[in-house]
Structure formats: C-alpha cells, structure tokens
Structure 1
Amino acid sequence: MQWNPLPIPDQQIAEQLQTEIGVPFEISCLLAQRGIQDYEMAKSFFRPALTDLNDPFLMLGMREAVNRIKSSLEIDEKIMVFGDYDVDGTTAVALVYSFLIQEHPNCIYYIPDRYHEGYGISTQGIDHAKTEEVGLIIALDCGIKAVEKVDYAQSLGIDFIICDHHLPGEVIPNAAAILDPKQPNCSYPFKDLCGCGIGFKLIQALTQEKGGAIHKIIPFMDLVAMAIAADIVPIIGENRVFAHLGIQQIQDNPRVGIRYLIHQLKRKVNVSDLVFVIAPRINGAGRIKHARHALALLLSKDQEEANSRSRAIELFNSERKEIDRKITAQALDQIKQNKEEDRFSTVVFQPDWHKGVIGIVASRLIETYYRPTVVFTQSGEYYTASVRSVKGVDVYKVLVNCQDYMVQFGGHRYAAGLTIKPEDYLPFKKAFEVAVEEVIKPDQRSPTLVYDLEISLNKITPKFYRIVNQMAPFGPGNMRPVFLTRSCLDGGKTKVVGADQSHLKLEVTDSSGALQSGIGFGMANYISKIKSRDPFDVLYTIEENEFRGEKSLQLKIKDLRS
C-alpha cells in the first residue's frame, strides 16, 4: 500500500486564510488544498446556499425544454417521465414526476426492466408510451446516445426531452430538447451534475419561469443528495450545495419513504449513510426485482405503506448481498484456476451469474486484484458486462480501443457497461488486456492511500475536530481529511478487541507527548508491531466516539507501518 501526500498548498495563501477567517494554520492548509483562496470562497464553502446555484437557463437546451413542457401543460398532453433503474435514475424520476404531478395529473412514470429491456431508453418503453397516448417523454439519466430510439418515438408522434450527464456520442439524438452539460457547445459552468441534478435544474427552470421562489423546491433536494452520493460525482460546486441542503432536508424532515431505512441511525445522517445505507437498498430493488419498487417507496405518502415497502426492499437487499458473496467467490476461484493472478486486467465470465450484481462483484474483485475488471454474464443471445477501474486508468478510453469486439458500450472514466457476441468473448478479453497494459503505469497497479497533512497528535483538539467536521459533506473532490503522524509509540493500553479478536483498539503517543485513542478495524495483526516498542507511522481520519453517553475523539486508522 502506497502513501501519497496531496500537494503542499501555497504557504502565503494558507497564512492569508488563517488570518482572514481565524482558523488554525492546519485548517487553512486543508482549505487551500481544496482550492479555497480567500474569505469569500471560504464563506461559500462552509455555508453552501441557494444563491450559489447557477441560472438553469445557462444550460444549452433549457429554453427549448421549458417551452416544450409548457406546451404540454397548456393542451393537457400526457407526459411520461422515464429514467434509468439505478439510484440516480430512480431518484430523478421521483423528483421530476412528483414535481409535475402537483399541477399536471396527466403524467405517468416508467423505469425499464434491468433484465428484459436493459439500460437506457427501450423500445418497450416507447411502445408503452404510445399505448398510453403519451405525447412527450422526459428521459432522465439516459438517452444521450439513443439516436435510433428517439427517431422511432418521433415516427410514433412522441417527442423526447433528454436530461443526461453521460458523454455524448458523435451523433446527438434529434430530440425536442437535450440537457447535458457535457454536450458540445454547452457553456453551462458546472459539468459534474448527476442525472438527478439535471432533473433538478429542469424543475428549477420551470419554477423560475412561473415566477416561483426557489426555496419552494428545496424539499426535492434530498433526492439529489442521494443521487450524488450513489453516483460518486464530485461534491464540489453545485453538487456541494445540493448535498448540503439535501442532507439537511433528510435530517430535519425526511421523506416518508426513507424514514424506515434510517430509523436505526443514532446520529445525524451523513453522505456515508446515503452511500452505504440508502443507496444499496434503492439499487437492490432494481437488481433483484424491479426498480419501480424503490420508486414507489420514494413517492410514498403513507407511513404504514412506506414501512411495508421498506421491509420488502430490505429483503431484496439481503438477497442481493448473498448472491454477491457467492458470485465473488466463484469469480476469484476462476481467476486462480486460469492462473490469471498476475495479469494487467481481470475479465471473467459465467453464464448464470446474476446480471444485477456483476457491477458490485467487479468492485469486490478489485479489492483482491487491484486492476481494471470486467465481469460478464449471459443475457439472451449476448454476453453483457459491468466494468470497474482503478485510480488513474480511464476505462472508457480503454474500451474505445476494444470497440471492434463490442455490440455496444457506455459509461464513465471508472465504470462502464458493455454487450458482446459470445464468439467475441476471448478476442475481447485479449484486446482488453493489451489495451490496459498499454496505459496502466507501475504505480497504478497497487492501491494508494492519499493523505492531506502531516500533523502531531497535540494538534487534535475538540475545536480542530469541529472545524474539520464543518467541511462536510465529504466525498469526491472534498474527501474527509486524512492525517499522517510519524514516530508513534504505544501508550500502553493498545489491545485486540472484537468478538473475533480482529480489531485493534489503540492508545498512541508521539513526540508532542499527547495521547490519543484509536480504532483499527480488521487490523489486529499489527498488535505485535505496536507492542515491540519500535516507532511506527499512522495514517488516520478523526472521528467522534460515543461510549456510555460520553463523547471523545478517536483516530480511525487507515494504515500503519514501521
């Protein structure tokens, strides 16, 4: 495991920040590392506000989108809100549908079946829209490459508004309007919105068009926060505003549909809870059954009904975890049987693997074999796969070099999906290995821990922790600060804990003389090194621990080394 520091910030900027906002120098360094250079930027960072949101009409296609929806409302045209089956798509549909239905009852929603229709806009969905006499489809978190599907819809007299955040292809669909900050010639200042975020910009524009106040749509921001966390987009710029206000909404007045899912938390909800508690359960419905179960939960108004739906979703999630565990074990065994432990990439296939969990399995395999990974299963007459990558390796560009062997593909820098013909599996596997070998660097073949600052333990005070915590919400672009302290020694009370004795409860000291407690999950194997009285370096985040009603600071250990 490599340890790499973030670049040291400009000392003059850090010192200026320290003076202007009155924080310890270490805090001003953390802010400078995040691009904050003066008082106004710091104010915006610590206090994200509605006024920090961009004018939605700066987005290419927004005027056309708003005008087309206004036309629908004027003639009472039936609208279908269509979205992908993952968290981003499901929350986006919940957001736009629940906004429109307030004043336009002639509105329905549709989420494709993961297994029978696959990702994105489907022929079945368009046919269903025709049967329902829909005149306009608003597609969320998908559609930017659906050129033929949009043409097919037009042949049936159905218009499309596409709200997507994926990279466009060479040809743009002939839709009534396209909202995608990544499309050519779009000068919208923030490019990292998720699909649900673009859905919010649409309802912001509609609200603005009617002369309504933006604070009236704050209750929809909880959905955007969930999508941001699940889709792992950078929590900077507008996303920071959405995440901050959305989490605040969940803390103060959670929607009926998610109360059951978060009722066991003993503290305020944070981004990690959205990632590890809410998102897997919303995703689980689409993976095991159908995403409409999750959508119905998000739209629930009655608590008893929501609790019943939540319990069903908990069962889906439990089933998903068991399937995921089983397939991961089979995939690891396949790698060993094929003697592929030392390759530059992982490509595995088994026809009966559950299509709904292969993306999770790909991520699990990277925990053991740190390299770009593709997990295939059979889907009808094709093989479909989920792709995950490692830091620094753009898997989308890698796939571009393998496109001769693919029927279709799409995705992001670190995650993608693809379809191939069965006869192309081995040629694809070979081409993918070659393509990865050409771009991956030696230091990208092992996981790296990045830390912000090197500090002594006496810098860790309740005030220091409070200010660090005010830097939340944490996520890509603003990760929770990681600290390095060198030449630590056992304070005398370090011991192994846990029912299976696999965790490490530390007491450490350094040259400053300060004592700090810490917890290292799954790190019991370090006990002998610590008890040897040889100095060691420790990498950690700082958290608050509550035990028997008493709160104290502790280090959450990420790694130790001599």
Structure 2
Amino acid sequence: MRWTIKPKPESEKVDALQKALQVEPIVASLLLQRGIETYEAAKTFFRPCLKDLHDPFLMKDMDLAVSRIETALETDESIMVYGDYDVDGTTSVALMSSYLKTRTDLVATYIPDRYDEGYGVSFKGIDFADDNGISLIIALDCGIKAIDKVAYANEKGIDFIICDHHRPGAELPKAIAILDPKRDDCNYPYKELCGCGVGFKLIQALASKQGQSVADLTEYLDLVATAIGADIVPITGENRALAYMGLEVINTNPRPGIQAIISEVKKEYLTITDVVFIVAPRINAAGRMKHGNYAVTLLTETNPDLAQTYAEEIELFNSDRKETDKRITLEALEQIETNKEKEGFTSVVYHESWHKGVIGIVASRLIETYYRPTLVFTKSGDRLAASARSISGFDVYNALEACAEHIEQFGGHKYAAGLTLKSENYEAFKQAFEDVVSQTIDKSLLTPEIKIDAQIELRDVNPKFYRILKQFAPFGPGNMSPIFMTDNLQDTGFGKCVGEDKSHLRITVTAPREQSKGHKNKLVCIGFGLGDKIDLVTDKKTFQAVYSIDENHWNNQVSLQLKLRDIK
C-alpha cells in the first residue's frame, strides 16, 4: 500500500475556524480538507436539513416536465414510469410511481429485462406502452442517450420526460423535457444527484404546485438515501442533506419493503455503509438473478406481511447471487493463474457460461487480488458482453474509447463500464486493451493508495473526539470516513491472528513515548485481512499504523477501537 498524507490546511485558516467553532485544531483541519471554511458552512455540514435543498425549478426543463405531467393528470392519460434494473433505477421507479399513484390510478411501471433488453430505454418497453394506450413515459436513471428510442416513441404519439444524471452526448433526445443537472445548459446549483435524486426533485416540483412543501415528502427519502449510497455519488451538498434525512427515515419509519429487508439486522442505528452492504445488494439481486420488477414490487408494497414475503423471495435471489459470484470469481482467478497473465497491466477473462448478472461484481473482486484495470466477459446472444472495473486514478472509459475499433458498443464512466463485441474480435481487443493501459497508466497507480487525513497521537483518540467524528457522517465519496496515522506504537504482547482462516489481526496497542509522559492510552485494534502482518508487531517491535476510529459493541459494553487499514 502507498501511504499518502493529505496536505495540511493553512495554519491561519485552521486557527480562524478553530476559534469560530470552539473545536480542537484537528477537527478544524478535517473540516477544511472537506472545503468547510466558515461557521455557517460548518453549521450546514453538521446539521443538514430539508431547507438546504435547492428550488427544483432551477433545473433546466423542470417547468416543462411539470406542465406535461399536470396535463396528463388532468386529462386522465395513462403514464408509464420506466427505470433501469439496478438500485438507482428501481428506487427511482418506486419513488415516482408511488407519488403519482397518490394523484391518479393510471400509472404503470416498467423495468427492462437485463438479458433480453439490456440497459436503458428499449424498443420493447415503448411497444408495451403503445399496446397499453400509454401516452407519456417518464424515464428515470436512463434515457439521456436514447435518441433513436425517443424518436420511435414520438412516431407512436408517446411523449417522453427524461430524468437522468449521466453525462449527455453531443445530441439530446427529442423529449418533452430532459432533467439532467449534467446538461451543459443546465444551471442547477448541484450537479451530483443520482437518478433517484433527480426523480425526487421532480416530485418536489409537482408537490409544490399542490401547495405542499418538501417536508410533506419525507416518506420518499428512504428510497433516495438508498440510491445515493448504492450509486456511489458524492455525499456532499444536496446529496448530504438527502442522505442524512433519508437515514433518519430508514431508522425511524422506513417503508414496509425496506423494513422487511432490515428486520433481521440487530443494530441500534443503520449508517449509509449498512444501507450499501445490507439493503442495496438485495435490491440489486432481483435485477441480477431474476428481474428488477421484484425490487419495485417490494419497494412499493404497503402491506407489511406481503412486504415480508417479497423480501424473503429476494433474499433467495441474493443467496443465489452470492454463491454464483463466489464460484465465478474462483474460476476467473484460476484462469488468470493458469494463463500466467499476472505480469501484465490488465486482467481480461472470459467464459461463455458465466452469469451476466454478476460479472461486474466478479471484476471488482479480481481487482481486490490483482489491483489493475479488469474486464470480465461472458457470452450474450451472438455477442460477448463485459463489465469493466478500474483502479483509483485510472479512467477505464477512456481506455475503452481508444480500443473502439474492436468494440461494437460501450458506455459507462471513469471507474465502471460495460461493452459488447463480436467473438472474433475478442483476442484483438484483449491485446489492444493491454497495450493502451500499459502505455497510458501511471505505474504508481498499480499499488493501492491509502489517503491519510492527518497524523495524530494515540492520546488524541478519546470519546469526545469520536463523538465529533461521528457527526461527520454520512460518509461517502467527497466525505470519506477520516483516516489517521500514528507512529511508534507497540503491541502489549497479546497480538494474534483471528477469524476462521486466521486472516485477520487483533492487537492491543500502546504508545511508549506517550506513556513515558503519563498518557496511559491503550486501544484494541482489528485489521481485517492483515493477519500476514503479525510478524511486524511481535516481540515489542515499534510500528506505524493507518486506521479509522470505530466503536466495538460487546456484552452490552461499548468501547473505542481502531480499524486498521495497514501497518509498517
């Protein structure tokens, strides 16, 4: 691991913010690293609320979208809510359809089949709308590049409203309204909303025309927070307020579908991390293993008993998904080892029988082992389809673009993408991808990096400091959980490897230098996957550690512990 300590903020700014907030210098420094420089900015950061949300009508085309939907509601038109099959898409469809059903019964939902129709707006979905007398489609988390599909709908007399958050191409579809803060001509103050967030802004605008405020829409925020966490968008600005308030709903009054998913979780308070690792994979499993409709059905169900039944069904999909991705990961690792391709700059693997729904997860797991840009291919009809994942700092989308002559189609962003190609082009593409990456990647990126917020002493880790750190949550891109480094540490002599396969490290650390000055701090540390570092801490050797601060709950006792990221 590469350890990189973030630059210290200017001391004058630290002093000024420390005095304004009456906090320790380390807290002021952490805030400044997050772009928070004033008392007012800190107040907004620590106390997010609904009044922090922007006027939805600041978004380009919002007035056109609201006007068209109001017309549809007044004239009893049938409306179809269309969304992608992942968490952002299915939560968006659940949100929009639930809201519209408070205004009309003429609402249908549509999620494309991952295997039959693929990502985004499909001709099949438009034909479904046409066959069922639907004259307005609201597309969420997709549609910004669906130029030919929207033109096809227009020929059939079906209007489109697009709510997307992906970057538009040079040409926009001929839709009635396109809500996308990433449009070059959109002056909306916050650009990083997820698809469900854009959908929420639309229902906020619709509700305002009915004399309702955003406070009347809090019941939808559990969906928005789930999408924000799952889609890995920055948890800054408006997303921070939406995630913060959404977590309150998840922890106090979640919809029956989400309650059914979390009912077995024995935790006092669910964090955004819990949402990402407990709620999101189960919602995703429906679209991966069966069909995204199952997720929408669960998320829109109002009867708790039925919701529990649907959640149990989705739990089976998730168990199936876990077994499948574990098996394929082992097969992919074996393929890399057998083919002796470990020395290259990329991992590209293929088997015709691998399940298309989990190849993206498998690509991420391969990066955990080999840490380099990775593609996992499977057969899809008469083509090969792949999921691409990248490492921090390397743009895999650009690399694919440089190999475009071998690819039929591709899309995505810097760290995750998808593509299809003809099977006869596979070997040529594989070589081209390796060549492009080897020629363009900064070789230092091939060693994982830990970004350290600050170097602190062991005595700085105390309950008061941790109480303040907890208020930095919810954590995520743009506001990651603070990482610290401390040197001259020693294990008390009882360090050991733990876990079924002894792959984790558990030690209790002290700081001899501090103890000599009367500071008796002693903290338990857990290092997941760091069991092979046990020799670095035995026999009273001194070492440095990089860690985050956490709480350990055991036998009704709560104590601080360090979650080790690496030791040297």
TM-score interval, smaller chain: over 0.9
Distance in 2 (CA, whole Å) between partners of 1:424 and 1:171 is 29
SS of the aligned residue for 2:35 comes to: coil
SS of the aligned residue for 2:357 comes to: helix
Distance in 1 (CA, whole Å) between partners of 2:416 and 2:262 is 28
Distance in 2 (CA, whole Å) between partners of 1:459 and 1:113 is 53
Change (3 A) 1:127 1:314: same
Task: Specify the code of the residue in structure 1 equivalent to 2:171.
Answer: V
Question: Deviation of residue 164 (structure 1)?
Answer: 0.8
Question: Deviation of residue 16 (structure 1)?
Answer: 1.2
SS of the aligned residue for 2:562 comes to: strand
Contact between 2:204 and 2:213, CA under 8 Å: does it hold in 1?
A: no
Tell whether 2:530 aligns with 1:530. Answer: no
Give a deviation string over 1:25-45, Cα, whole Å, max 9, x none.
111111011000010000000
Question: Deviation of residue 466 (structure 1)?
Answer: 0.3
1:6 maps to what in 2? Answer: 6
1:547 maps to what in 2? Answer: 554
Question: Deviation of residue 96 (structure 1)?
Answer: 0.5
Task: Specify the code of the residue in structure 2 equivalent to 1:38.
Answer: T
SS of the aligned residue for 2:80 comes to: strand
1:415 maps to what in 2? Answer: 416
Question: Deviation of residue 512 (structure 1)?
Answer: 1.7
With 258-267 and 162-171 compared, the bigger mean Cα shift is at: 258-267
Give a deviation string over 1:101-144, Cα, whole Å, max 9, x none.
10111111000110111100011111100111000000001111
Task: Specify the code of the residue in structure 2 equivalent to 1:150.
Answer: V
Contact between 2:359 and 2:387, CA under 8 Å: does it hold in 1?
A: yes
Tell whether 2:404 aligns with 1:403. Answer: yes
Q: CA RMSD in A?
A: 1.2
With 105-114 and 519-528 compared, the bigger mean Cα shift is at: 519-528
Gaps of 5+ in 2: 516-520
Distance in 2 (CA, whole Å) between partners of 1:305 and 1:40 is 46
Distance in 1 (CA, whole Å) between partners of 2:284 and 2:332 is 22
Contact between 1:5 and 1:452, CA under 8 Å: does it hold in 2?
A: yes
Distance in 1 (CA, whole Å) between partners of 2:499 and 2:167 is 46
1:519 maps to what in 2? Answer: 526
SS of the aligned residue for 2:540 comes to: coil
2:25 maps to what in 1? Answer: 25
1:167-182 equivalence runs, <5 A: 167-182=167-182
Distance in 2 (CA, whole Å) between partners of 1:233 and 1:211 is 31
1:396-475 equivalence runs, <5 A: 396-475=397-476
Give a deviation string over 1:285-325, Cα, whole Å, max 9, x none.
11111111111111111111111111111111111011101
2:116 maps to what in 1? Answer: 116
SS of the aligned residue for 2:134 comes to: coil
Task: Specify the code of the residue in structure 1 equivalent to 2:449.
Answer: T
1:387 maps to what in 2? Answer: 388
1:299-448 equivalence runs, <5 A: 299-448=300-449
Question: Deviation of residue 494 (structure 1)?
Answer: 2.6
2:272 maps to what in 1? Answer: 271
Question: Deviation of residue 151 (structure 1)?
Answer: 0.5
Distance in 2 (CA, whole Å) between partners of 1:324 and 1:468 is 35
Distance in 2 (CA, whole Å) between partners of 1:386 and 1:311 is 28
2:518 maps to what in 1? Answer: none
Contact between 1:393 and 1:439, CA under 8 Å: does it hold in 2?
A: no
Task: Specify the code of the residue in structure 2 equivalent to 1:165.
Answer: H
Give a deviation string over 1:210-266, Cα, whole Å, max 9, x none.
321110011111111101111101100111011100001101111111112212232
Task: Specify the code of the residue in structure 1 equivalent to 2:357.
Answer: G
Instruction: Give the one of 541, 548, 558 matched to 2:565.
Output: 558
With 276-285 and 402-411 compared, the bigger mean Cα shift is at: 402-411
1:36 maps to what in 2? Answer: 36
Question: Deviation of residue 177 (structure 1)?
Answer: 0.7
Distance in 2 (CA, whole Å) between partners of 1:6 and 1:415 is 26
Contact between 1:285 and 1:291, CA under 8 Å: does it hold in 2?
A: yes
Change (3 A) 1:101 1:546: same
Distance in 1 (CA, whole Å) between partners of 2:469 and 2:11 is 19
Distance in 2 (CA, whole Å) between partners of 1:138 and 1:63 is 15
Give a deviation string over 1:177-215, Cα, whole Å, max 9, x none.
111111221111211111101101111111122321110
Distance in 2 (CA, whole Å) between partners of 1:500 and 1:425 is 38
Give a deviation string over 1:264-286, Cα, whole Å, max 9, x none.
23220101111110111100111
With 41-50 and 6-15 compared, the bigger mean Cα shift is at: 6-15
Distance in 2 (CA, whole Å) between partners of 1:297 and 1:7 is 46
Task: Specify the code of the residue in structure 2 equivalent to 1:416.
Answer: A
Distance in 1 (CA, whole Å) between partners of 2:329 and 2:31 is 40
Give a deviation string over 1:130-179, Cα, whole Å, max 9, x none.
11100000000111111101111111110111111111112211111111
Task: Specify the code of the residue in structure 2 equivalent to 1:102.
Answer: T
Change (3 A) 1:526 1:369: closer
Distance in 2 (CA, whole Å) between partners of 1:442 and 1:528 is 29
Change (3 A) 1:422 1:257: same
SS of the aligned residue for 2:269 comes to: coil
Distance in 2 (CA, whole Å) between partners of 1:90 and 1:46 is 30
1:118-157 equivalence runs, <5 A: 118-157=118-157
For normalisation by structure 2, the TM-score amounts to 0.97
1:161 maps to what in 2? Answer: 161
Give a deviation string over 1:329-371, Cα, whole Å, max 9, x none.
1111222232211111122111111000000011011111111
1:95 maps to what in 2? Answer: 95
Question: Deviation of residue 420 (structure 1)?
Answer: 1.3
Distance in 2 (CA, whole Å) between partners of 1:72 and 1:305 is 31
With 427-436 and 21-30 compared, the bigger mean Cα shift is at: 427-436
Tell whether 2:189 aligns with 1:214. Answer: no
Task: Specify the code of the residue in structure 2 equivalent to 1:477.
Answer: G
Give a deviation string over 1:10-33, Cα, whole Å, max 9, x none.
211111111111111111111011
Alignment: residue pair count = 561
SS of the aligned residue for 1:166 comes to: coil
2:484 maps to what in 1? Answer: 483
Question: Deviation of residue 499 (structure 1)?
Answer: 4.2
Question: Deviation of residue 444 (structure 1)?
Answer: 0.7
* Aligned residues with identical type, % of pairs: 52
Task: Specify the code of the residue in structure 1 equivalent to 2:527.
Answer: G
2:256 maps to what in 1? Answer: 256
With 134-143 and 335-344 compared, the bigger mean Cα shift is at: 335-344
Contact between 1:80 and 1:109, CA under 8 Å: does it hold in 2?
A: yes
